[in-house]
Amino acid sequence: MDLTELASLRSAPVPPAAHLIDGTRRAASDGATMDVISPADGRRLTTMPRGTGDDAQAAISAARRAFDDGRWSDLAPAARKTVLLRWAGLIEAHAMELAVLGVRNNGTEIGMALKAEPLSAAATIRYYAEAADKLHGEIAPTAPATLGLVHREPAGVVGAIVPWNFPLMIGAWKLGPALAAGCTVVLKPAETASLTLLRIAELALDAGIPAGVLNVVTGEGSVVGAAIAESRDVDVLVFTGSGATGRRLLEASARSNLKRVYLELGGKSPNIVFADAPDLDEAAKVSAHGIFRNSGQVCIAGSRILVERNTHDAFVDKLAAVANAMKVGDPLDPTTAAGAINSHAQLEQNLDFVAEARQAGRRIVTGGTRILEDTGGFYMAPTIVAGVRPEDRLARDEVFGPVLAVMPFDTEDEAIALANGTDYGLAAAVWTANLSRAHRMVRRIKAGIVHVNTYGGSDMTVPLGGVKQSGNGHDKSLHAFDKYLDLKTAWIKL
Ligand code: NAD
């Protein structure tokens, strides 16, 4: 990491942000702005447009025109590839600038932000760019008197609504395949993490992505997001965020044009530790980071640890030792292991879960409090709660903060019942040296991804998506293209 560059960027003034619509920077139609508060110190970082329904409509119209006139969708896929590769290169060249801006905006620790945000976004865009000219149609195995051709066509205008925890990484998971497929996009970033997505959209123009192909509108979800969801000119809606918003998007689709809606929602992911794990120290270290990195603000966070009873107490001690050794604080200090909580509201929500657990008599093994309040920022100590019961809110509902629920189990069947006993099904892990048990558990756990003897870190080659109320559809891997391509059959009499 270039510490000199980091030092010069960390307090650089951030000019007021603007929407990017039809290739131009624009203020809100009524001139309204909203403050961007840095969670690192609670101070105003800059302002951005408080977008209106008219702004969303202007962006949708621009994306519609850009799609319909073929300036992007009718390019040879190899030509789109060239432009997208140039864009990935520009994002990489601006990685430190983007990472620091992102950290000041959303609070993620810089070590993780640099890799997981600009560098991961660049890698994602490159992955889909390279795939753009390798997507073939099909010739169906028909009788000789007919020819059945299956075309794959770009689906049209994509509305993309993304959250604040990893705006560039998650944004790129949508933008990469959508743009490589030939779609145009209206992107709505989260209120508390818009700045870096606006910046990479400017870089997209520099790379040669035509005006109107990628539009970004900032503001409130209930206004800008809702206008995108209700639009009859948006063909596909892709979303990462909370279940409550996901439900609203499905309703909006039903009320408007039945646009396809793909949801990546939350999780309460079980991390199951058997006493025969190959290395319990390693399991504790990786598991602690699996919940506490980015202060638990990770959709796949392993927020429930289920431990075989005969190793429970020793394992909780190991977890606590790792948690207590983690440095929480200034997200722009490269030695920080966990940065700030994204917003004051999120911090309060995290503390409410702990207060409830404490009141119910659960054991707060470590943490449980706000820390570093004198900085003005929003920080919370990594928190472990033991003795959590399946009926507790902490066992069922997503905190989206650095709060780990620990529960003991005696048998494989009991572990499965606990693991599958929530409305969610996003991620899971199993720690065991028993190969047969590992495969049995992978089959029986209801989740989009099951890790074995590790947690997190899956790369672009594999899909990520939830089952049950964690969502539908998949980001990452070539499967992500399915969301952005329509199948069309040509049935030809010969
Ligand atoms: P959120 O649902 O509040 O917001 C997500 C986005 O939706 C934001 O851009 C917001 O402005 C917008 N939005 C809010 N209300 C809207 C409305 N009525 N209509 C249209 N858009 C609206 O969620 P959040 O707090 O930003 O993100 C945290 C959630 O995201 C957690 O539940 C987390 O698990 C989930 N998440 C899931 C994944 C995944 O891949 N499955 C990844 C990251 C985060």
CA of residue 378 to ligand 1 center, whole Å: 20
* Cβ(194) – ligand 1 distance below 6 Å: no
CA of residue 240 to ligand 1 center, whole Å: 5
Cβ contact 312:408 at 8 Å: yes
Domain check: are 196 and 300 in the same one? no
- What's the rounded mean pLDDT across residues 275-280? 98
Beta bridge mates, 166? none
Q: Which atom of ligand 1 is nearest to the CA of 192?
A: 26
- What's the rounded mean pLDDT across residues 38-56? 98
Q: Which atom of ligand 1 is nearest to the CA of 190?
A: 9
- Looking only at the bridges linking them, the beta strands covering 379-380 and 370-371 are antiparallel
Domain check: are 351 and 228 in the same one? no
Domain check: are 30 and 174 in the same one? yes
Whether the per-residue pLDDT at 195 is higher than 90: the answer is: yes
In order, the DSSP letters of 138-163 are EE----TTEEEEEEEEE--EEEEE--
Confirm whether 465 is domain-assigned.
Answer: no
d(CA 83, CA 299): 31
Rounded to a whole number of angstroms, the CA Rg of the chain reads 23
Whether the per-residue pLDDT at 264 is higher than 90: the answer is: yes
Task: Provide the pLDDT confidence category of residue 1 given band limits of 50, 70 and 90.
Answer: confident
- Reported as type and span, the H/E element at residue 408 is strand 403-409
Q: Which atom of ligand 1 is nearest to the CA of 245?
A: 2
* Cβ(408) – ligand 1 distance below 6 Å: no
SS3 state at 19: strand
Confirm whether 430 is domain-assigned.
Answer: yes
Closest to 151 (Cα-Cα) out of 483, 488, 494: 488
Query: 400 to each of 287, 346, 348, 404, how far by Cα in Å?
Result: 16, 8, 12, 10
CA of residue 161 to ligand 1 center, whole Å: 8
* Cβ(324) – ligand 1 distance below 6 Å: no
Domain check: are 157 and 54 in the same one? yes
Q: Which amino acid is at 192?
A: T
Which sequence positions are flagged as catalytic? Answer: 264, 299
CA of residue 133 to ligand 1 center, whole Å: 32
Domain check: are 168 and 301 in the same one? no
C-alpha of 202 from chain center: 21
* Cβ(221) – ligand 1 distance below 6 Å: yes
- What's the rounded mean pLDDT across residues 21-34? 98
Question: Atom 38 (ligand 1): residue with closest C-alpha?
Answer: 299
Domain check: are 206 and 311 in the same one? no
Domain check: are 252 and 352 in the same one? no
* Cβ(198) – ligand 1 distance below 6 Å: no
Express each pLDDT in 57-94 by its tens digit: 999 999 999 999 999 999 999 999 999 999 999 999 99
Whether the per-residue pLDDT at 414 is higher than 90: the answer is: yes
Whether the per-residue pLDDT at 30 is higher than 90: the answer is: yes
* Cβ(227) – ligand 1 distance below 6 Å: no
Question: Atom 27 (ligand 1): residue with closest C-alpha?
Answer: 241
Domain check: are 228 and 332 in the same one? no
CATH number at residue 483: 3.40.605.10
In order, the DSSP letters of 56-98 are HHHHHHHHHHHHHTTTTTTS-HHHHHHHHHHHHHHHHHTHHHH
Domain check: are 169 and 21 in the same one? yes
SS3 state at 249: helix
Domain check: are 254 and 280 in the same one? no
Question: Atom 3 (ligand 1): residue with closest C-alpha?
Answer: 242
Express each pLDDT in 460-469 by its tens digit: 999 999 999 9
Query: 218 to each of 13, 98, 164, 221, 265, how far by Cα in Å?
Result: 20, 18, 12, 9, 21
Look up the domain containing 206 and give its range.
3-265+471-491
Domain check: are 101 and 192 in the same one? yes
d(CA 292, CA 298): 9
* Cβ(164) – ligand 1 distance below 6 Å: yes
* Cβ(307) – ligand 1 distance below 6 Å: no
d(CA 324, CA 317): 10
Cβ contact 439:445 at 8 Å: no
Whether the per-residue pLDDT at 2 is higher than 90: the answer is: no
Confirm whether 466 is domain-assigned.
Answer: no
Task: Provide the pLDDT confidence category of residue 408 given band limits of 50, 70 and 90.
Answer: very high
| Domains of the chain: total | 2
Confirm whether 198 is domain-assigned.
Answer: yes
- What's the rounded mean pLDDT across residues 267-275? 98
Domain check: are 19 and 132 in the same one? yes
Confirm whether 310 is domain-assigned.
Answer: yes
CA of residue 245 to ligand 1 center, whole Å: 6
CA of residue 162 to ligand 1 center, whole Å: 6
